[in-house]
Amino acid sequence: MSHDRKNYDFINHKDYEYMFIATLGIAISLTMSTTYLIFYSQSQKLHDNLETADYMGKVGMFFGFTFAFVGSAYSTSHLEFAFMFLVICVLAINLVILQYDFGRLASFWITIAVFAVIYLYDFWVTANSK
């Protein structure tokens, strides 16, 4: 399904897998948000747990987008693996620290910092007229 040429016409074969990861991130985020909106009013404890799961789904979606972006945009860079590894490690750290009370704020600022580094590196170093 991800290699369907009528929906996506990529030149590089790996871009189909990256598009699958981005689409999977959207699906997970929408599933978490739908579950939260259906069941949040059952109890306060369930509300808090579902709110955290909804936030985790959104974080996962943004990291899926960024992983796909790094894999596609940095395909000729020698830092491709380093940035992809950084994205996965920071996602894992974010999902772990979200289990604590301070987790949402820390996760937010860690995500902003990592995304700023990744996207600013792309805009200033790899994006050129070629």
Q: What is the pLDDT of residues 42-89, one digit of tens each?
A: 999 999 989 989 999 999 999 999 998 888 888 777 888 898 999 999
Q: How far apart are CA 30 and CA 61, in angstroms?
A: 9
At residue 92, does pLDDT exceed 60? Answer: yes
DSSP secondary structure string for all residues of 59-124? HHHHHHHHHHHHHHHTTTSTTHHHHHHHHHHHHHHHHHHTTSTTHHHHHHHHHHHHHHHHHHHIII
Read off the tokens for 60.
């996962």
The pLDDT value given to residue 86: 92
Mean pLDDT of the chain: 86
Backbone angles phi, psi at 124, to 5 degrees: -95, -30
